[in-house]
Every structure is written in structure tokens, then in C-alpha cells.
Amino acid sequence: MTINIKSINNKYLMLLLVVLFTACSHNENDGHKHGTTQEAKEEKTTGEVEEETTEATIASLTDEQIKTVGIQFGSIEQKQLTATLKANGALRVPNNNKANATSLYGGVIKSINVQVGSNVKSGQVIATITNPQFIQLQEEFLSVTSKIIYAEQELARQKELSDGNAGALKNYQSADAELKTLRTRKASLQEQIQLMGINPNSVSNSNLRSALVVKSPISGTISNVFSKIGSYVDVSSPVAEIVDNSQLHLDLNIFEKDLPLLKVGQVIHFTLTNNPVNEYDAKIYSIGTTFENDSKTIPIHCTVQGNKAGLIDGMNITAIVSLNNITTAAVPNEAIVDADGRSFIFIITDKKPDEHHDEEEGHKHSADEKHDEEKEKQPTINFERIEVIKGVSNVGYTAITTVNEIPKDAKIVTKGAFFVNSKLTNQGEAHEH
């Protein structure tokens, strides 16, 4: 059998070429496909990063939303928040502005005409007291008055007898001494009756009074009532306490190391410990020279300035002593929102809310994402989020420095900033694709 070696070699050569061509084609196609996929993934990732880094800065709220949430507006203020000293203290009323309404005579309380918080004038009747001795005192006054009339007549008669040598001189002298004694006793009784609040000239046998009045020695406010109807009081038992807050003082406790920083005439700001909303002013008028008990603090005495409404003797306060006249821009603490490690405030702006729609992709809103046409017709206010750097915080305010310049007359959100920020966040999420 004759084998054609040349023919066999040609067949193997053709088969080898086919295999090699097929392998090369497969590798080229795979390489092209993988490269395209990788590039697409990279482009997609880049697009997503760019979209995620787009940050919404403008929020829009309707008037109804603003009223419902209770958003309030204000402006950036100038406050003395730098170089300050914080101290604790209490409100005090000077002793010459405090008084007790007391009775000069013991008796039983018949009526009380005031209660705690009542405003009274000097000389106003606080209460009435009854005692049978009051009647006896008036009876003695009437009796002495009658005896004086008789003693005056007797003195005149003895004088006539003495002038005519018809009577002894000692009788005249005795009558004169008796009259003087009676007049002295009447003057004493008259003074006592006046202290009881009774006009001595009005005392008569048919007008004897068994009760006396207790009057307020000063004008002010009733801070305490010590007695009740039916209780017995005497000179040592005050009926009520009256306080005049017009000269309210503030006593601070300052440590020794801080004493050189203070001087007479310095202005301080303080708030009530249990109600730090309102801020009050006071001025230092004296600095103590001795330590207060064992606290190693020195008392600083201040006079409260301006409005004193709501201030009561004994209230605890927190004071901020201004050590210089340097002022700084500040906003209420509620006006600042912290997010993502940064701090922001919101100002009213004419800028429109940021648009995040992709027109090339032809983005379509679902039924849940469609805007309410009626709400869009309502009046709206736009708010811009402004980044700030916070400084020192005192008495409800925080010093700020804006990262970017804002208008000097910019209106800021002083209350409800958290809601505006949440609205801005939700707005950004609603526009994600």
C-alpha cells in the first residue's frame, strides 16, 4: 500500500492553522469585551461620585410650614462674649429695703388684708388686731382728760385763795403739781393711742375701739405672711414681710485668682439659674475685702440695672462678667445646626433651590415623587445654608465667623433651624437618581 506522505502533511497543516485562528479570535473578542465593561464601570462610578458630591444648599418652605413649626427670624448680633468670667451668685434686697409689719401691742388677728405677692403702699393697712386692753387704754385717756379739767379748776381756786392770803401756799403748790402730773399722763396716753392708729380727738365714751390696725412701714411687695386669722401676735411676732425690689442687689462669689480682673463700675450680664431665657444687667458697686466663710471666695456686690420684672430676693443666678469692651458677632444657640462635622446657620435668600434633574436621561417622576401643584402655588421663602465657625458660648449665644461673606442685613433663622436643615436634607434625597 502506498501512503501519500505529502497529502497527510498538508491535512495536518490545514488543521493547525484553523485551531490557531480560532484561538486568536476568541482572545481578541474577550479582551475587547472586558475592556469595554471595565471602562463602563469606571465611567459609571465616576458619575455616581460626582452626583453624590453635589450638595443641596437652598431649602424652600411655605408660609404655612413656617407658622406650623414656629420658625423665628432675627439677625446676627454684637455680643460681649469674649474675655469673660463666669460666676455664680444670688439676688439680694438691701436691709433698708426690707421691713416687717408688726403690732406695737399684743392681740389676736381679726383680719388680714394682703397675701403673698400683693403690692402695698407705705401706711397701707395690712391687718387688724383685737385686745380688750385697747379699750382700757382709751378709758384711762378719757378719765385723765376729765381729771385735768377738775385739776385746772382747783389750781385756779387755790391761786385766788393764796393771792388773798386766805389759803395756804402749799395747797396751791400741790394743786399745781397734780395738774402737771395729769397733763403728762394724758400726753403719754395720747401718744400710745396714736400708735394704735386711733385719733385721740375721736375717742369718746360712745366710740371706744377694740381693734387696732397694722400698717406697712414701706412700699413694696408682700413676700411672706407669718400670721393667720385667730392667731396671737405681739411685738416680737411680725404679721408680714414687705420687700422693695426697686433697689435689688446681686452678690457674686469670685475666687481670689480672678479678683484682679474686676473693678468697680464693671457691667455684668446674668441669667436666672432656673430660667436662663431672659438676660439682665448689673453693675459692680463694691468689692469685698474678706473671704466668704470657707469657700475661699470674695463677695462682689452689684446693683441690678434696667428691668427687674420677675426678679425675687434669694434667686440663684449665673453671671458673665465682661472683662473688656471687645464685641463679636453672635447668634442664639438654637440658630446653629451641626452636621457632618461642620456648623451652619440659615439666612433668607433670593436664590432658588438647587436643581438635580438629569435632562439627558429623561428622568421621570413616579406618582409618589410628583410635586403637589397646590403647594407650589403657595408663597414660599428660600433659605440658604451658610457654614460658620463657632466660638465661645455664653448666656444663650455663640460667637460665629462665617466661612463666606454674607449680606450685613441678612435675616437668619433664630429658632427652627433644625427643621430647615432636615427639609434641606430630605430635598437632596428626593432628587437623587
Edge-to-edge strands, sheet with 107-112? 211-215, 125-130, 107-112, 232-233
CB neighbour list of residue 333: distance below 8 Å, 6 or more residues apart = 393, 396, 397, 398
> Which of 223, 243, 263 delimits the end of a domain?
243
**CATH of residue 395:** 2.40.420.20
Judged by DSSP in three states, 392 sits in strand
Q: Confirm if 389 and 403 have CB atoms less than 8 A apart.
A: yes
Rounded distance, CA 94 to CA 90, Å? Answer: 13
Statement to judge: residues 182 and 269 lie in one domain = no
Statement to judge: residues 124 and 232 lie in one domain = yes
User: Residue holding cell 462674649?
Assistant: 81
Q: Confirm if 274 and 393 have CB atoms less than 8 A apart.
A: no
* Residue 1 is assigned to a structural domain of this protein: no
> Which of 190, 209, 228 delimits the end of a domain?
209
Statement to judge: residues 140 and 200 lie in one domain = yes
Statement to judge: residues 343 and 380 lie in one domain = yes
Rounded (10°) CA dihedral 243, 244, 247, 251: 10
CB neighbour list of residue 155: distance below 8 Å, 6 or more residues apart = 172, 175, 176, 178, 179
CB neighbour list of residue 247: distance below 8 Å, 6 or more residues apart = 93, 94, 97, 303
Residues of the chain with pLDDT under 70: 1-54, 82-84, 164-167, 293-295, 322-326, 354-377, 427-433
What does the pLDDT read at residue 239? 93
* Residue 27 is assigned to a structural domain of this protein: no
Judged by DSSP in three states, 229 sits in coil
Statement to judge: residues 177 and 229 lie in one domain = no
Rounded distance, CA 389 to CA 70, Å? Answer: 26
Statement to judge: residues 161 and 197 lie in one domain = yes
Statement to judge: residues 227 and 348 lie in one domain = no
Statement to judge: residues 239 and 120 lie in one domain = yes
* Residue 17 is assigned to a structural domain of this protein: no
For residue 111, the enclosing domain spans 105-131+214-243
Full-model pTM: 0.47
User: Residue holding cell 420658625?
Assistant: 71
Judged by DSSP in three states, 298 sits in strand
Q: Nearest-5° angle of CA 119, CA 121, CA 127?
A: 80
3-state helix, strand, coil in the chain (%, to 5): 35, 35, 35
What does the pLDDT read at residue 133? 79
* Residue 26 is assigned to a structural domain of this protein: no
User: Judging by beta carbons within 10 Å of its beta carbon (0-12, 13-18, 19+), is residue 366 exposed, middle or buried?
Assistant: exposed
Amino acid occupying residue 275: N
CB neighbour list of residue 404: distance below 8 Å, 6 or more residues apart = 386, 387
Rounded distance, CA 126 to CA 238, Å? Answer: 11
Statement to judge: residues 160 and 180 lie in one domain = yes
Q: Confirm if 301 and 264 have CB atoms less than 8 A apart.
A: no
Statement to judge: residues 258 and 271 lie in one domain = yes
How many domains is the chain built from?
4
Q: Confirm if 279 and 344 have CB atoms less than 8 A apart.
A: no
* Residue 13 is assigned to a structural domain of this protein: no
Sign of CA dihedral 305, 311, 312, 314: negative
Residue 202 exposure: Cα atoms within 13 Å on the Cβ side: 9
CB neighbour list of residue 232: distance below 8 Å, 6 or more residues apart = 106, 107, 108, 109
Q: Nearest-5° angle of CA 100, CA 101, CA 104?
A: 115
- Write out the three cell numbers for 66: 413656617
C-alpha distances in Å from residue 164, one per residue of 16, 157, 168, 169, 368: 185, 11, 10, 11, 130
- Write out the three cell numbers for 130: 383685737
Rounded distance, CA 414 to CA 418, Å? Answer: 10
Rounded distance, CA 331 to CA 389, Å? Answer: 12
* Residue 179 is assigned to a structural domain of this protein: yes
What does the pLDDT read at residue 341? 87
Statement to judge: residues 190 and 295 lie in one domain = no
* Residue 239 is assigned to a structural domain of this protein: yes
- Write out the three cell numbers for 306: 434696667
CB neighbour list of residue 199: distance below 8 Å, 6 or more residues apart = 193
What does the pLDDT read at residue 166? 58
Q: Confirm if 101 and 114 have CB atoms less than 8 A apart.
A: no
What does the pLDDT read at residue 48? 47
Statement to judge: residues 307 and 255 lie in one domain = yes
